[in-house]
Amino acid sequence: PLTMGIVDFFQAEELTIFGVNMAAAQIEGSKVFAKELMKQYGIPTAEYRVFEGRDEAAAYIRKKGAPIVVKADGLAAGKGVTVANTVQEALEALDRIMVQKVFGEAGKRVVIEERLLGEEASFIAFSDGSTVLPMASSQDHKPVYDNDEGPNTGGMGAYSPAPIVSPEVHRRIMQQIMIPTIKALAAEGYLYRGALYAGLMIQEGVPKVLEFNCRFGDPETQPILVRMKGDLVPILEACIRGDIAGLEISWDPKAAVCVVMASGGYPGTYEKGKVIQGLEEAERTEGVYIFHAGTAFENGRYLTAGGRVLGVTGLGKGIREAIETTYRAVSKISWEGVHYRRDIGKKALGRGEE
């Protein structure tokens, strides 16, 4: 909706709305726009090339070799990026985008870029067009299966805080990425008032941008917001007014974990209308919040109605306790074909976090 101009529409009717306007939303709506902005203003990201023709892109892939990343330029519901481990896999991804046109107009151009190594983190901040107010760090899990295997999804789970974002890495992200991006957009004539999400790769303390979104991340927002102290609305209102300078957000020191429960077959084809069992019992688990995504309520029963169905989110004193709380609630919920990852938060434990 942001890339289609919902904010512009509301503003034309003098209605209050939080979010970026259609012009600024290009930072998510076009990967080419985002990459070229970063290149022009020296914001760290992967090396890349843009192609409008399939044959030239294929020749470049063959020349560069694998691993390599193939991205549709436009919006593709989180499924337009392929991290290819072989040249053949990259060429198949290219053909899906440019020949089979599975993403329609979003695939008229492709970005081919180097694969960055390291550990991913998500960094979301509020901006009123000049000031940047960061939220707590988090880490998403894109691949559909455990151990980061299988195709990418919109996100299978997340936790907050992300131990890889140390105080020094946090400072670098703000000084080298978030603040320069808002300044770059302003210099290009874009007033950015809304949420800015940076998907990052961090290697040896050095952050680089994988992608930008012009909205909160899903599922990262769930563990972030359950840790947020105070009210969200005054911050949103201050963003809209252009007045967030001086505001601060305080965070619960507890850790939070969100596990996405998905329909069998997602991110490919999946069936809808499966009866969801155990929701009430799961909701009684202390420290647990259940966020509905792809659900419908009919005749007194909850049914599956999408790929990502529920975001089961739990708090704990540390990451281990948050993982245990969340999976305890997950174990009480079931439907035919349910799928979820069983290793959300494992990377934080691997960093010695408890």
CA–CA separation, 211 vs 46, rounded Å? Answer: 10
Angle formed by the axes of helices 31-41 and 179-187, to 10°? 100
**Residue 352: is its pLDDT beyond 80?**
no
CA–CA separation, 66 vs 61, rounded Å? Answer: 8
**Residue 152: is its pLDDT beyond 90?**
no
Q: What percent of the chain has pLDDT over 90?
A: 96
Residue 236 has a pLDDT of: 98
CA distances, 165 to each of 16, 54, 138, 207, 274 (Å): 34, 38, 8, 9, 39
Tokens, residue 354? 């408890």
CA distances, 237 to each of 4, 98, 136, 165, 232 (Å): 22, 41, 19, 28, 9
CA–CA separation, 227 vs 58, rounded Å? Answer: 45
**Residue 193: is its pLDDT beyond 90?**
yes
Full DSSP string of 53-119:
SHHHHHHHHHHH-SSEEEEESS--TT-SEEEESSHHHHHHHHHHHHTS-TTGGGGSSEEEEEPPPSE
| All residues at 6 or more sequence positions from 161 whose CB lies less than 8 Å from its CB, including other chains | 136, 137, 138, 227, 251, 255
Strands 68-72 and 110-114: antiparallel
Whole-number CA gyration radius for the chain: 20
Q: Per residue in 220-269, pLDDT tens?
A: 999 999 999 999 999 999 999 999 999 999 999 999 999 999 999 999 99
Cα torsion 94, 100, 105, 106: sign: negative
Residue 354's pLDDT band (boundaries 50, 70, 90)? confident
Please tell me the CATH superfamily of domain 255-350, with its number: Phosphoribosylglycinamide synthetase, C-terminal domain (3.90.600.10)
Residue 18 has a pLDDT of: 98
Cα torsion 100, 91, 70, 345: sign: positive
Q: Per residue in 270-313, pLDDT tens?
A: 999 999 999 999 999 999 999 999 999 999 999 999 999 999 99
Type of residue numbered 225: L
**Residue 353: is its pLDDT beyond 80?**
no
CA–CA separation, 253 vs 319, rounded Å? Answer: 11
Q: Per residue in 319-333, pLDDT tens?
A: 999 999 999 999 999
**Residue 79: is its pLDDT beyond 90?**
no
CA–CA separation, 301 vs 278, rounded Å? Answer: 11
Q: Which residue has the tokens 């990459």?
A: 35
The structural domains of the chain, with segments of one domain joined by +, span 255-350
CA–CA separation, 28 vs 191, rounded Å? Answer: 15
Residue 78 has a pLDDT of: 76
Q: Per residue in 27-73, pLDDT tens?
A: 999 999 999 999 999 999 999 999 999 999 999 999 999 999 999 99
pTM for this predicted structure? 0.93
